Structure 1
Amino acid sequence: MLASVPALLLASTVLGGPAIVTDPPAAPTSEPQAATPAESQDNGDILVTARRRAETQQTVPIALSVLTGKSLAESGAFNVNRLQQQVPSLQFYSSNPRNSAINIRGLGAPFGLTNDGIEQGVGFYIDGVYIGRVGAATFDFIDVDRVEVLRGPQGTLYGKNTTSGALNITTRAPSFSPEARAEVSVGNYDFLQAKTSISGPITDNLAIRLSTSATTRHGTIYDVTSKTDLHRQRNVGFRGQVLYKPTDSLSLTLSGDFNVQNPLCCAQYYARVGTTQRVTSRQYAALAANFGYTPPSTNPFDRVTDLDATINSRQEVGGASLVANWDLGPATLTSVSAWRYWDWQPANDRDFIGLPITTISQNPSQQKQYSQEVRIASNGKNKLDYTVGAFFFNQTINTQGVQAQGAAASRFLLSGADAANPNVLNGLTSTNTIAFDNTSFAVFGKLNWAVTDKFHLQPGLRINYDKKSGSYVSVVSIRNSQYDFVATADNVASLLAAARARSTAAGTTFQNQINTLAPQSYSPRFSAWNVSGDLTASYDFASDVHGYATYSRSFKSGGINLSGLPLNSTSTGVDLTTQTVKPEKVTAYEIGLKTQFLDRRLTVNLAGFWTDIKDYQATVNNNAINVIRGYLANAGKVRSRGFEFDTTYRPTPRFNLYFNGAYTDAKYVDFKNAPCPPELTGGTAASATSPATAAGVAGGVSPAACDISGQRLPGISKWSLSYGAEYNVPVDSSGGQVYLGYDGNYRTRFSSNPSPSAYTYISGYSISNFRLGYRKKDFNVYAWVRNAFDQDYFELLSTQSGSTGLIVGQPGDPRTFGGTISKTF
């Protein structure tokens, strides 16, 4: 019977709100309790496993948001990028899948291009398995039971240390009752998304679930050079699970998945121009005029570009895991064993325009990871409950980077006589071989002591060891009608000496070449032990009023720089003092109140937080104007503080609404040696006799570094809101109803540059989404429209390398519309 069910299923594409309507019960695959997470109980409670045991969402003393599979499907939030529009404290940024970051409350990962040698501060988990590459978060969700977004440090409960929070995704488990689900969505831009899930028993103690997902859509940006639409969607995913229950107390779940994505993304192109401190003849307008170049449009929301280099973001993700839960009576023993891989095959146009400046810039990368987690958690509600665990993780990454300059590079990147000679940089190529090995081991635990029936103390402790080692080797070569050399870290000094011996001009030219792409070879190492912990006190003021306060000391592991280092004073070697970055030291305070009123029809949850981070890991570029990738360094201190609220109200069975928000004040408290914003770069170097001049004045004097203490962290809005409502009307005796739903979100402006710049602030925007449909228990059909008012907005803004003043942007999706039909069998 199961084999006859169609093999593809779908999700909608309209964005939406929190878990107002919940899914049927589904046993978890990776948690010690065989309860029904994300199940709405008769009294309105939602069960979650945020603390590695089944508890009601309202009684867990953690700030968290829970979204069920059903609410995700109806809202169209089928990946993390769309999930952030429902959870105001969550930020997700992606210039392409490899260069993606999940942040919570503005913290987690430094803003900018990815550096393999550091870790995320937000843990990303699927069925209890830590995912080492955030690129996996760009894939479509497959058969999800629920998503839990935990805010604040979680290292005493989760295997991998998390200083900013955790994104915990649980898929539907195999069922011993036959079932099948199918959904199909169609829309404009030839959007088609299909998902299926089938599950049922093989024997009395063996069950299986097979799930698939496929998405295709034409792109929203047109490249006039290749006559290709970019930002398309081409996603395919498969997931299989086998559940074996030899006894009522023992279960084993074997899971495997395979996913391929080939989206032809992520294009950034002309957005605006700002004035740097370069001389006027070396600003973008003059440089473009020198080549007789104009972009196809200066309105980025015309959605056309003329990229002259190949662009792609193909990635493949897969793996297998075995989860065992053994109920020992007083406690449950859980084991999570996993292996995963990630294969990244990109292509980029890193000059962002239709001139041959940087003709190749790509870093194909392959990762493998192994992890083993063992936990034991007490069962029931005792005077003293506990969760204790151990975690091992090993990750290896191999990257093969290539960057090549074209015939226009000399004019855009250099000054003087060399700028007028295309051969100086034409064909200059850096070939990079990068290796990384990361091993982590930890033991962690959390107690829950019921001092009284209402007052609980929950201390937690983590002991962690991290060891990272890497290798970065860059060979620089050029071969054209005028220049022919191969430079390595070993011979670059002799090549420079030979060039200077020929003439001053030859020495200057070679210096310009190796400053643009520097040959390097270094092998960084880092290892350290860390001890961290937290203490939560919670009090039940009434059956539906729960308060808590948490103090935690946490850390994010130190890292190694694997994107190249700045040159040292010899002009041929690299500054080896910048090989490593110190761990972040995190101190966090949080106070919260979770309440329900009016017979639990009204829920109001509040949380206030204050997080200080010393030695914050930030992206810098040492004011080297020609580099595409910066390196990592430690800022003195940053702070994120604010408050959050989550409210839902169901005045009648026919009408429900929600309003959630976050106010976040995230700033650099101490960062005196930061990279300067574009308006303070490109000029002659400041000195004691020639101080820096005003920002944005052509021909000015530029400081070597800037003090950005007191300025805002990138990527985080002060205010972020999500809101929505749904109204339904019964229309037949079988329980069918017609419904109208609205989901919206709003965020104020935010900085899109590591150092705040007047040129790279993204203005605030709001997005509205509607759905209208008919549903009954096992059937749902509806029309939807996303970004209904066709709001123009940017997801990211960036600067063109070389301090030309060109600002490029990555626009968000325009208005999309379509329909969805789903059926449960």
Structure 2
Amino acid sequence: MTLRVLLLGGAAILPLAAATPAFAAETLGETAPASDAAAPADQTTSVGTGQSDNDTIVVTARRRAETAQDVPLAISVVGGDHIDATGAFNVGRLQQLTPTLQFTSSNPRNTSVNIRGLGAPLGLTNDGIEQGVGIYVDDVYMARVASSTFDFLDVKQIEVLRGPQGTLNGKNTTAGAINITSRQPSFDTEGRVELSGGNYGFFQGKAAVNTPLSDTVAVRLAGSLTRRDGTITNVTSKLKVNSQDNLGLRGQILWKPSNGVEFTLAADYSHQNPTCCTQVYVRVGATQRPLNRQYDALAAAQNYAVPSTNPFDRVTDVDTPLRAKNDIGGVSLRAKIDTGIGTITSVTAWRYWDWDPSNDRDFLGLPITSKSQNPSHQDQYSQELRLSGETGKLGYTLGAFGFYQKIRTLGLQQQGSAASRWLIAPSNALSRDPTVLDGLTANNDINFKNTSAAIFGKFIYKLTDSFSIQPGFRLNYDKKDGSYNSVVTDGAGNLVVFESDAAGKSLNSARERAQLAVLAPQSFKANFSDWNFSGDVTAAWDVTRDIHLYATYAKSFKTGGINLNGVPADAVTGVPLLDLATIKPESVNHYEVGIKTQFLDRKLTFNLSAFRTDIGNYQAQVSNFAVGLIRGYLANADKARSQGFEFDASFRPSERFNIYGNGAYTDAKFVKFTNAPCPPELSGGSAQPLDANGVPTGPTAPAGTPGISPSQCDISGSRLPGVSKWAFSYGAEGNVPVTLFGKEGQAYVGFDGSYRSSWSSNASPSAYTNVDGYALTNFRAGFRTEKGIDVYGWVRNAFDVNYFDQLAVASGSTGLIVGNVGDPRTFGGTVKLTF
């Protein structure tokens, strides 16, 4: 099966659809209804509030329309109105509503989204790897998390699916999936406008309008604009940094030539251009480098002091202009045809992503790394065909998926006038010559091509009216080709290259060796290809109308990849270690049991699930803490595991009050990782000797003490980065009927909160990068009518809690720890009109 065959197959549906009469045969359903008017009220399951006691939540988690309580998998559904009310307007803020979701980002390209602690290595940017959490917008797969960092636009609901979803939701969704469904065009004239303003210069405007153009054609247009001043002051540039400046546009055209036949053409564009992104000084931790090469001594030698050692003073002095220009967009065509054997769906899509950054990678007001930027462009093409239906006791979804991705990244790193004194040992006279490293530049050219094709299926066989067996499969092929080429020049523009004799002895001068220790040229090509077969089976028992039990086993894979940030190389010859250029696929065995219940005439919902996921060849980040360019790469840990339990609960005793609470306990750890990177307190010293077999030997210095550093560390049993053991989200809302300005409506007060316990923010657990737990609380109060007006005030992070979104270890083993500080207290008001 090739991508061309799938694309031709999708195109072939178009003339067929126009000529195919609709059949009255009822199927199991396929995707969400095209019209919001035909769908249930915009509400959430266990997250947020609804508009009536009888709301039923329809989800498309299994590529068919089903009620959330009937789907035998762990799923959280967040409605669009609740997203708006809580200010959760992107994936980063969504994690405050769904406790099993983890989101970390130092900039859009360096973003990770995990579920249950699994998905992608924390804090590693690499063009040649893939995510374990699939993100979909209206059935279109987003290959990179960076290309999904847009503001939510005219969203109807978001489904967060936990656990492997590969038999229906993408080739690598070993950890879960996020399905974002926008409001669809309909044949009703309606619109909505929302304006918000707040402190820090916050302004957000949203608008959407839907109108029929004829009896068969309808159009829906939506847009959003978000702006906010930065929450960090740069005392060098006098600018507020880490700001928000986002524009989003979407247009959809629905053509429904006959009953049971419809086409939806959609196009979207998102532009982000904030003054962003920087991390601030947090602390200094002792490493094993000589004391005169650790942060305190290096800073003193240049009479340098950060503007504040308290990160929550929210000041920085970085001296490189910051830029995070991000353009995202695409076009998709979805065709649906109801036939006598089911519903055929074709989804054809093209998407692009342009990334144009400028960063200060030394995080300080010294010109050490004067430029660090990796502009990147991605194009992706996808085609999916599905057939969903049922016959007798058998329901089915069968499909094929084709995908092609091309990425080009042109990176640049340049050292500044303070680099020699910071990066060269003070005992070396060259450290006092700024020209050695000033202007030293690495130009990196990274190319990546990714081709994938799959066939998949999911079946539901009813053994009885209340008991069913639901197997699924996916046969997947992946092929990846990548190249990495880094060219290094000195300040005068001369090439800096490795030179050695036949015996492997360096012929480079002392000056060149000092330069090569900071930025090293490297060039290699690598490829990966593999077939894999995924499968799952679920047993589902409807004990009563309102009590549902399920048990699932899934065998899944996350495809292998290519390290395209550069790999370690021979220190004398510069020859890259090509056995580290590719990464093996992850092998996943997943077990889950759950119960979904409703009581008190469905006013009370309580769902509980327990899971265990075992991962072989876990793709983990490795950092060599080198002075120069290579900051991290991927390697395979022997085994990792995530296990725990989750609950979702909501109670709506009357239309005047509702309350919800969700929680998760996640025990995610490395079961076996004996050759892991060492944490900063065990890094930076002299190299540990190796015996004749290459095995490390001899004593090493204690943590934080200068001396010999271990070449690798055994972190078996330690927790995975990025995930808290305990996480909760909760909230409530109450209202009373009132008449205000002649309008009958409701006055309401609501709150939403979230809590997560401490978590590790480094590939190997470190005392320096452990993020303390925190709780965030949001309040809102306002007045709304049944249709037309909603006016409310809000305060987020109401108690002004100081917390970190992420901590990171600066390169060079100097002991410098930097971090992304979370948003302070913000407040404002919103006016929403619907018509």
TM-score of Structure 1 vs Structure 2, range by shorter chain: over 0.9
Partner of 1:119: 130
TM-score normalised to structure 1 length = 0.93
Alpha-carbon separation, structure 2, partners of 1:31 and 1:570 = 60
Q: Choose which of 152, 173, 177 in structure 2 pairs with 1:162.
A: 173
- The secondary structure found in structure 2 opposite 1:516 is coil
Cα 1:296/1:265, change in 2 over 3 Å: same
- 1:700-738: CA deviations, max 9, x gaps? 221111111110110100000111111101113964010
- The secondary structure found in structure 1 opposite 2:213 is strand
- The secondary structure found in structure 2 opposite 1:479 is coil
Partner of 2:815: 805
Unaligned runs of 5+ in 2: 1-28, 44-51, 691-696
Q: Given that residues 358 and 403 in structure 1 are in contact (C-alpha distance below 8 angstroms), is that contact kept between their aligned partners in structure 2?
A: yes
- 1:553-596: CA deviations, max 9, x gaps? 00001001110010126442111111100000011111110000
- 615-624 vs 315-324, greater mean Cα deviation: 615-624
Alpha-carbon separation, structure 2, partners of 1:659 and 1:239 = 33
Alpha-carbon separation, structure 1, partners of 2:100 and 2:33 = 28
Q: Choose which of 719, 728, 737 in structure 2 pairs with 1:730.
A: 737
Partner of 2:270: 259
Partner AA of 1:646 in structure 2 = D
Q: Given that residues 496 and 512 in structure 2 are in contact (C-alpha distance below 8 angstroms), is that contact kept between their aligned partners in structure 1?
A: no
Partner of 1:663: 665
Q: Given that residues 37 and 48 in structure 1 are in contact (C-alpha distance below 8 angstroms), is that contact kept between their aligned partners in structure 2?
A: no
Equivalence map 1:217-366=2 (5 Å): 217-366=228-377
- 176-185 vs 566-575, greater mean Cα deviation: 566-575
- The secondary structure found in structure 1 opposite 2:499 is helix
Q: Given that residues 506 and 572 in structure 2 are in contact (C-alpha distance below 8 angstroms), is that contact kept between their aligned partners in structure 1?
A: no
Partner of 2:586: 584
Q: Choose which of 136, 153, 156 in structure 2 pairs with 1:145.
A: 156
Partner of 2:6: none
Cα 1:71/1:29, change in 2 over 3 Å: farther
Q: Given that residues 353 and 377 in structure 2 are in contact (C-alpha distance below 8 angstroms), is that contact kept between their aligned partners in structure 1?
A: yes
Q: Choose which of 790, 804, 807 in structure 2 pairs with 1:794.
A: 804
Partner of 1:696: 704
Q: Given that residues 38 and 48 in structure 1 are in contact (C-alpha distance below 8 angstroms), is that contact kept between their aligned partners in structure 2?
A: no
Report the alpha carbon displacement of residue 69 of structure 1 after superposing the two structures with TM: 1.0
Q: Choose which of 470, 484, 498 in structure 2 pairs with 1:458.
A: 470
Partner AA of 2:167 in structure 1 = T
- 1:761-795: CA deviations, max 9, x gaps? 01000100000000012210000000001000010
Alpha-carbon separation, structure 2, partners of 1:91 and 1:632 = 20
Report the alpha carbon displacement of residue 499 of structure 1 after superposing the two structures with TM: 11
Partner of 2:18: none
Q: Choose which of 421, 431, 434 in structure 1 pairs with 2:443.
A: 431
- 1:9-28: CA deviations, max 9, x gaps? xxxxxxxxxxxxxxxxxxx9
Report the alpha carbon displacement of residue 675 of structure 1 after superposing the two structures with TM: 0.8
Partner of 1:210: 221
Q: Given that residues 428 and 478 in structure 1 are in contact (C-alpha distance below 8 angstroms), is that contact kept between their aligned partners in structure 2?
A: yes
Q: Given that residues 499 and 507 in structure 1 are in contact (C-alpha distance below 8 angstroms), is that contact kept between their aligned partners in structure 2?
A: no
Q: Given that residues 464 and 530 in structure 1 are in contact (C-alpha distance below 8 angstroms), is that contact kept between their aligned partners in structure 2?
A: yes
Cα 1:335/1:38, change in 2 over 3 Å: farther
Q: Given that residues 112 and 123 in structure 2 are in contact (C-alpha distance below 8 angstroms), is that contact kept between their aligned partners in structure 1?
A: no
2:96 aligned with 1:96: no
- The secondary structure found in structure 2 opposite 1:487 is coil
Partner of 1:16: none
Report the alpha carbon displacement of residue 797 of structure 1 after superposing the two structures with TM: 0.6
Partner of 2:570: 568
Alpha-carbon separation, structure 1, partners of 2:379 and 2:142 = 11
2:785 aligned with 1:745: no
- The secondary structure found in structure 2 opposite 1:197 is strand
Partner of 2:785: 776
Cα 1:498/1:652, change in 2 over 3 Å: closer
- 1:646-702: CA deviations, max 9, x gaps? 0001122211111111000000111111111000011112226741111012x2221
- 1:293-333: CA deviations, max 9, x gaps? 01111111111100011211110001100000100033000
Partner of 1:596: 598
Partner AA of 2:134 in structure 1 = G
Q: Choose which of 616, 628, 643 in structure 2 pairs with 1:641.
A: 643
Partner of 2:539: 537
Aligned identity (percent) is 58
Alpha-carbon separation, structure 1, partners of 2:642 and 2:191 = 45
Q: Given that residues 504 and 572 in structure 2 are in contact (C-alpha distance below 8 angstroms), is that contact kept between their aligned partners in structure 1?
A: no
- The secondary structure found in structure 1 opposite 2:92 is helix
Count residues in correspondence.
786
2:499 aligned with 1:493: yes
Partner of 1:606: 608
Q: Choose which of 415, 421, 424 in structure 2 pairs with 1:411.
A: 421
Equivalence map 1:9-48=2 (5 Å): 31=32, 36=39, 43-48=54-59
Q: Given that residues 140 and 349 in structure 2 are in contact (C-alpha distance below 8 angstroms), is that contact kept between their aligned partners in structure 1?
A: yes
Report the alpha carbon displacement of residue 161 of structure 1 after superposing the two structures with TM: 3.2
Alpha-carbon separation, structure 2, partners of 1:560 and 1:70 = 41
Alpha-carbon separation, structure 2, partners of 1:629 and 1:376 = 45
Q: Choose which of 716, 719, 723 in structure 2 pairs with 1:712.
A: 719
Q: Given that residues 540 and 549 in structure 2 are in contact (C-alpha distance below 8 angstroms), is that contact kept between their aligned partners in structure 1?
A: yes
Alpha-carbon separation, structure 2, partners of 1:129 and 1:38 = 24
Equivalence map 1:470-549=2 (5 Å): 470-480=482-492, 485-487=494-496, 492-493=498-499, 507-549=509-551
- 142-151 vs 274-283, greater mean Cα deviation: 274-283
Partner of 1:193: 204
Q: Given that residues 364 and 399 in structure 1 are in contact (C-alpha distance below 8 angstroms), is that contact kept between their aligned partners in structure 2?
A: yes
Alpha-carbon separation, structure 2, partners of 1:731 and 1:405 = 65
Report the alpha carbon displacement of residue 32 of structure 1 after superposing the two structures with TM: 7.8
Cα 1:763/1:321, change in 2 over 3 Å: same
Partner of 1:767: 776
Alpha-carbon separation, structure 1, partners of 2:674 and 2:40 = 47
Alpha-carbon separation, structure 2, partners of 1:44 and 1:599 = 12
Cα 1:357/1:46, change in 2 over 3 Å: same
Q: Given that residues 730 and 753 in structure 2 are in contact (C-alpha distance below 8 angstroms), is that contact kept between their aligned partners in structure 1?
A: yes
Unaligned runs of 5+ in 1: 1-27
Report the alpha carbon displacement of residue 158 of structure 1 after superposing the two structures with TM: 1.9
Q: Given that residues 619 and 633 in structure 1 are in contact (C-alpha distance below 8 angstroms), is that contact kept between their aligned partners in structure 2?
A: yes
2:404 aligned with 1:391: no
TM-score normalised to structure 2 length = 0.92
- The secondary structure found in structure 2 opposite 1:434 is strand
Cα 1:29/1:179, change in 2 over 3 Å: farther
- The secondary structure found in structure 2 opposite 1:289 is helix
Alpha-carbon separation, structure 2, partners of 1:583 and 1:38 = 42
Alpha-carbon separation, structure 2, partners of 1:49 and 1:524 = 38
Cα 1:407/1:74, change in 2 over 3 Å: same
Q: Choose which of 191, 194, 210 in structure 2 pairs with 1:180.
A: 191
Alpha-carbon separation, structure 1, partners of 2:30 and 2:548 = 29
Cα 1:140/1:201, change in 2 over 3 Å: same
- 1:371-414: CA deviations, max 9, x gaps? 000000005x8410000010000000000000111222223223
